[in-house]
Amino acid sequence: MKTMRYLEVGQMDDLGRLDTPLHRLDARIKMVTVAVFIIAVMSFPRYEVSGLMPLFVFPFALIGVGKIPLGCIYKKVLPALPFALFVGLFNPLIDRDPMLTLGPLALSGGWLSFASILLRFTLTVSAALTLVACTGIHRLCAGLEQLGVPSLFAVQILFLYRYLFVIGDESIRMFRSVQIRSTGSKKLSLRVYCALIGHLLIRSIDRAQRIYRAMVSRGFDGQIRLLHRTQPGWRDAIFLLGWIAFFISVRHRNPARIVGCWLTGEGL
């Protein structure tokens, strides 16, 4: 399972290296837009369900333009669901006032706010994952640095990400050699397991230090360098302002309500 997840992280990295109009936008602009999006999502009243729907345009449009496979995003959303589910699940139990009637069915406020929580969760999480998939960790960290995050912290995020692969490689190598040497017995005893983990730590530290020394001797000075340092241009401005205008208009007027009234022939 660990190796599977580890390989999936690599997949996000591959996606980040694609070359689409979305990937070519400035990383800072994309980060700010996603931040505004999340704030817009969370500013809705607690019982809002229909008003959140139009906001799905944002992640879907990015996924479409950025050529990101939808499954890759939603496979990562699902494992994170339990916590939101756990806390949200109490809403229907506690808040039982009926608020919505669908023929004979009466929905309580709790179910509405529960649905709202799940929608918010899906929206914000898919937006964040899409941001990474269309930017890549390297440009993301450089963008963080340009946004004024201390460079030590930006480099730390980059190193953490890179060393994840170092540890993954080391652990695959170690467990493979254990498997080769212990034919027949399938389960490792706790003692062996602990010793393995300890040595994995030591070996990874040593390797990380060697890599770091090699980087320093090749001129690494704590700055993240990019081949092309982008400057925000008119495309970026249109992207940012266009989306912000969209968020504000969706926040103020509920397009879902308008469409619904139009379809059901009901007055606004």
**195/203 Cα distance (integer angstroms):** 12
Q: Considering the complex, what minimum distance in angstroms separates the CB of residue 183 from other proteins?
A: 26
Look up residue 5 and give its amino acid: R
Q: Which residues pair with 102 in a beta bridge?
A: 105
**208/228 Cα distance (integer angstroms):** 27
23, 30, 76, 138: which one contacts other proteins (CB under 8 A)? 76
Q: Does 16 bind other proteins (CB under 8 A)?
A: no
Q: Does 192 bind other proteins (CB under 8 A)?
A: no
Q: Does 83 bind other proteins (CB under 8 A)?
A: yes
Nearer to other proteins, 183 or 263 (CB): 263
Q: Does 188 bind other proteins (CB under 8 A)?
A: no
Q: Does 238 bind other proteins (CB under 8 A)?
A: no
Q: Does 205 bind other proteins (CB under 8 A)?
A: yes
Q: Does 95 bind other proteins (CB under 8 A)?
A: yes
Residues contacting other proteins: total by CB under 8 A: 109
Q: Does 54 bind other proteins (CB under 8 A)?
A: yes
125, 142, 224, 240: which one contacts other proteins (CB under 8 A)? 125
Residue 184 burial class via C-beta count within 10 angstroms: exposed 0-12, middle 13-18, buried 19 and up: exposed
Contact status, residue 161 vs residue 208, Cβ threshold 8 Å: no
Neighbours of 229 (CB within 10 A): 10
Write out the two tokens for 159. Answer: 């190193």
**φ and ψ at 58, to 5 degrees?**
-60, -60
Of the ranges 45-53, 172-180, 185-193, 224-232, which one interacts with other proteins (CB under 8 A)?
A: 45-53
- Positions 130 through 149 that interact with other proteins (CB under 8 A): 131-132, 140, 149
- Positions 98 through 117 that interact with other proteins (CB under 8 A): 98-102, 109-110, 112-113, 117
**118/49 Cα distance (integer angstroms):** 10
27, 63, 224, 240: which one contacts other proteins (CB under 8 A)? 63
